[in-house]
Structure 1
Amino acid sequence: MDINKTLREWLLVRRDSKTVFTPQANDVHLEAAMQWLKRAQDATADSGVAQTYLTKYKKWANSYPETTGYIIPTFYRYYQLTGDEDYRRRAIAMADWECDIQLPDGGVLAGALGDSELPTVFNTGQVLFGWVTAYEQEKQQRYLDSAIKAADWLCSIMDADGCWRKFGSPMTLNDGTNLYNTRSAWGLARVYQITGNEKYLQHAVKNAQWGLSQCEPNGFGHNNCLQDASQPFLHTIAYAMRGFLEIGVIAKRQDFIAQAIKMGDAMLGQVQGNGFIAGRFNAKWQPTVKWSCLTGNAQISINWCRLAQITADMRYVDAAAAVIQFTKSTQILSGTDDNIRGGIKGSHPINGGYHPWQYPNWATKFFADALMILDTLKTGKGPYRDWPV
């Protein structure tokens, strides 16, 4: 055991846990986040976005197909908000790159580029958001073709009961039986929206119906974590919740929306006075850790904002604003280190149990989305006012 290394890490964590910054206006934090995402894209050898910045090794990981896919709508959204053509250009480059690396069967590679040669359900579902949005914005046939090919593959490998058990993520200890794949099913529903092909919506609904079978009366969902299903991350709770909510809206299924409301309401009571919310919860919706999953913070805030749009209940906006205010206080806005300035950590403090010592790109992506939807609700205008993705 390297005692000196352990001591250095302890001191870093202690400093990190005590270091918070005075939050600035949302647009200041948003611009910093978007600039960090551009640097994460520029850090790679291709047009994808680096999976994460590893602070211990002071290096960027390779491009990550999964999250690059759903970063595409964020870049289009920011382009519409600011008129900065560079974000549209970058979104197109990402969408083209996703087409170029799509596997022959239609699936999308697991992990970061170079980690695997196999497809996985979740990654494929998330890239659908990028292709669908790129097609909506650019009307290029190749994006539609890739989206249909990926959606057909997802439909073909779904089990009869609506669960995906094959081609699970190598990042999870589960066998592929993951509730948070409702977010992949929502990707199918988005393909339905641009094609009108009922098959895609039917399969999305089938997965959400299976998802309901995994949920307790209090809204807690089983098989819903990367590592420990008894205490899922806020991150995967929010993934599953968003899938239920959006499929419910598209398919006009109140039972799916009701499940999302149960999950969202369970989290409302967990927000502390300073906006802190724990990173894991048990089946009684009790927090099980003392660190914050910053990715989950942003996601649950987006989900609450969507519930406010659907229900007109402003409690959700208040909770989202409080949690984002806390998250803003953890974002470094100044300094000379381009690798972390403007980014969002996996956990706060940085050694917490979700992607410790890292700045995963999806944490910053969801943070940017949360800031934009909050401002949209406040002003009544903005990109994607009805917030489909």
Structure 2
Amino acid sequence: MKLRNLLALAGHAPQVASAFRGMIDQTTASDRQHLNWVGDAILRYNRCSKDGGYSVAFSLIHGWQNGYVETTGYLVPTMLDLAETLGRPDLRENALAQGLWLLEHQRPDGSFPDINRSVSSAFDTGQVLMGLQRLFVETGEPRYADAARRACDWLAGLSEADGSWLRAGESPGRSPTYYSRCAAAMMDFGKLVGEPRYVAAGEAFLAWAADQQLPSGLFRHSELVVGRPYLLHTIIYVLEGFLHAHEVTGDRRWLDVALSGAEPLKQANLNREIVLVSYYDADLKPASREKCITGLCQWAGLALRLHELTGDEGYLTCASNTLFYLKSKQIKADPVIGGALPGSVPFWGDYLKLSFPNWNLKFFADALLRWTRMGLDTSLQQEWFVMSCHGQNAAKVGWTEVEDHLSAFDEFTLEQIEPLIAGLGGSPTVLDLGCGAGRCLDWFAGRHPDWELVGVDPIDPQRPDRAIQVGTANRIPLADASVEVVYACIALQHVGDIDGALAEIGRVLKPGGLLVVFDRDPVSLRGLLKPWHELKGRWIYSWDAPFRERWYTAGRWRRLMRKAGYRVQKVKGYTGNGGGGWRGRLPINRFLLIAARKAA
């Protein structure tokens, strides 16, 4: 890196520190708070722009940049939606002011310029068209409809005989398939004002673009840079165009194209990548480990729209996990970049390196606003994320095969728990919380056939021979005061709200009931090395995940138990098997056993 760039980074040291914290942040707020942060950030992008509009980005090298005509255009509808949802007239006033700024940049031929204000851009014109249409609908002012007509006339004039657009100023001789967003915007405006020419031109482009789809679901000519892998941002742009066209016309063929592209992404998201990566090859194989934040924001919104249309719960899971990730990455407190999102994670990644662009916020807010309108439950997002991580990890390691037997240390663990339960006498009802495939239940059943054994786990092991239900530590599907014993082996480390989990366990325990926790001790070599394993992708959670395991010391467990109203009876540490020879004598894996009783 050049010396002047290093000096520029030093000059923005507080923002660099905020960017580092944001990458590994595990905190989220209410959706309303996140939306307010977006609104405040976009206002700042306007105030700090060098020439009006919404600044392209804040760069850790160059600082604030010029206003961006394209993204100002499609940020206007988002600001108007935020104003209505949040009851903030300042956001509405700002959006209307940006409408006037946009009119100043329309060229005599009806087009709008690219990011450098050097050539007429088809894509940028199509994005501004969305803002012009919304401003016309919002205000009824003819000037916005007139500007939108001129933009559509220019776009329609680009149409070739096969429907493609080869004469756009930003890509002469090439017709990117992500122009589908522009085509759909033309169709939308054409429907609004009763102009069939615009609808026909848009449909012609979409028909051409649909023919460019590959077997993987991706589209030829959708790379942001020719010769590079496919970028999630422009992958989703293409699908957004087809879905918008379906929403405008009701034509099923456009929805089918969108679904044929979205379904492979959904499968990758559910079965391979908890959070989609930045780049893919033509077969939809990952070509990067980085995260394109803009593409993720778009994916969350697209998945929610497809869930609404199809009822497919897979899309809802994708949207929830992606939004949970994104909320953790929003900068929480910084006077310059507070509320912003980086271009990439890590923030020095390939897409918009060292920058915080404005358009991330548009798609992030759109997805959160849709989630809010749908009345979905945000409180479940952490648990859904953990369950997805467990499910994908289980598939990778062959969970049902690995989990059907006990290691020597597993048996040792159960032998420590067994006398605590047996000491209660009688035939207790025992809950294994986080039971996995039920191997511990099998062990106890073989030794104590008189005990009533039940299990709860986020993943259904599909064992009709065992009473195992799907649930989590914060939502146990059992009645109040229904069990005498709850034990949790290497399970509570996956809980985000540990106070809530201990309260929920107390709900299902009978008065005087026993809680036994066996979990990892952070004071161990494994605890010291855990961040390294996360960074290298060798852990169930990645280094940038919005949730990672919480390992508590013995002292912390005592405080947590007392706070929850339990009486601690025993706290003891154990060293797990670190391997043969000298490794077996090292504290590579350390565990804690905590036994506590609920008040009688």
TM, length-normalised to structure 2: 0.58
CA distance in 2, matches of 1:38, 1:74: 12
Number of the residue aligned with 1:131: 132
Number of the residue aligned with 1:164: 165
Question: Aligned-pair distance for 1:17?
Answer: 8.2
CA distance in 2, matches of 1:81, 1:4: 44
Number of the residue aligned with 1:342: 339
Superposition pairs for residues 23-34 of structure 1, below 5 Å?
23-34=28-39
User: CA contact under 8 A between 1:275 and 1:324: conserved in structure 2?
Assistant: no
Specify the SS of the correspondent of 2:58. Answer: strand
Specify the SS of the correspondent of 1:378. Answer: coil
Distance 1:236 1:130, change over 3 A: same
User: CA contact under 8 A between 1:162 and 1:207: conserved in structure 2?
Assistant: yes
Q: Which amino acid aligns with 2:114?
A: A
Specify the SS of the correspondent of 2:104. Answer: helix
Distance 1:18 1:156, change over 3 A: closer
Number of the residue aligned with 1:188: 186
Superposition pairs for residues 1-389 of structure 1, below 5 Å?
15=20, 19-57=24-62, 59-111=63-115, 115-169=116-170, 175-228=173-226, 231-271=229-269, 275-335=274-334, 338-378=335-375
CA distance in 1, matches of 2:226, 2:158: 25
Deviations 1:89-133 (A, max 9, x none): 11111111111210000000111xxx2332110000000000000
Specify the SS of the correspondent of 1:261. Answer: helix
Number of the residue aligned with 1:387: none
User: CA contact under 8 A between 2:35 and 2:82: conserved in structure 1?
Assistant: no
Deviations 1:176-221 (A, max 9, x none): 3201000111110121132011111111111100101111233221
Deviations 1:222-273 (A, max 9, x none): 1102114552111001100000111123233322211111221111123379
Q: Which amino acid aligns with 2:239?
A: M
Q: Which amino acid aligns with 1:152?
A: D
Q: Which amino acid aligns with 1:300?
A: W
Specify the SS of the correspondent of 2:230. Answer: coil
Deviations 1:144-179 (A, max 9, x none): 000000000100122121111112426xxx843201
Say what the alpha-carbon RMSD is for the aligned residues. 2.5
User: CA contact under 8 A between 2:22 and 2:328: conserved in structure 1?
Assistant: no
User: CA contact under 8 A between 2:133 and 2:145: conserved in structure 1?
Assistant: yes
Q: Which amino acid aligns with 1:24?
A: A
Show structure 2 runs of 5+ residues with no match. Answer: 378-600
User: CA contact under 8 A between 2:79 and 2:91: conserved in structure 1?
Assistant: yes
CA distance in 2, matches of 1:379, 1:226: 33
Distance 1:138 1:19, change over 3 A: same
Specify the SS of the correspondent of 1:151. Answer: helix
Q: Which amino acid aligns with 2:157?
A: S
Question: Aligned-pair distance for 1:289?
Answer: 0.2
* Structure ranking higher in helix proportion: 1
User: CA contact under 8 A between 1:16 and 1:349: conserved in structure 2?
Assistant: no
CA distance in 1, matches of 2:44, 2:209: 37
Specify the SS of the correspondent of 1:271. Answer: helix
CA distance in 2, matches of 1:200, 1:5: 47
Specify the SS of the correspondent of 1:219. Answer: coil
CA distance in 1, matches of 2:176, 2:26: 36
Q: Which amino acid aligns with 2:55?
A: A
Show structure 1 runs of 5+ residues with no match. Answer: 381-389
Aligned residues: 370
Question: Aligned-pair distance for 1:18?
Answer: 5.6
Question: Aligned-pair distance for 1:360?
Answer: 0.8
Q: Which amino acid aligns with 1:310?
A: L
Specify the SS of the correspondent of 2:187. Answer: helix
Distance 1:103 1:376, change over 3 A: same
Question: Aligned-pair distance for 1:3?
Answer: 8.8
CA distance in 2, matches of 1:150, 1:316: 34
Q: Which amino acid aligns with 1:266?
A: P
User: CA contact under 8 A between 2:50 and 2:65: conserved in structure 1?
Assistant: no
Distance 1:18 1:39, change over 3 A: closer
Question: Aligned-pair distance for 1:274?
Answer: 8.6
Q: Percent identity?
A: 27
* Structure ranking higher in strand proportion: 2
Specify the SS of the correspondent of 1:269. Answer: helix
Specify the SS of the correspondent of 2:269. Answer: coil
CA distance in 2, matches of 1:199, 1:78: 33
Deviations 1:288-331 (A, max 9, x none): 10000000000011111111121122321221110111111111
CA distance in 2, matches of 1:28, 1:128: 30
Distance 1:163 1:79, change over 3 A: same
Q: Which amino acid aligns with 1:301?
A: A
CA distance in 1, matches of 2:3, 2:60: 19
User: CA contact under 8 A between 1:21 and 1:329: conserved in structure 2?
Assistant: yes
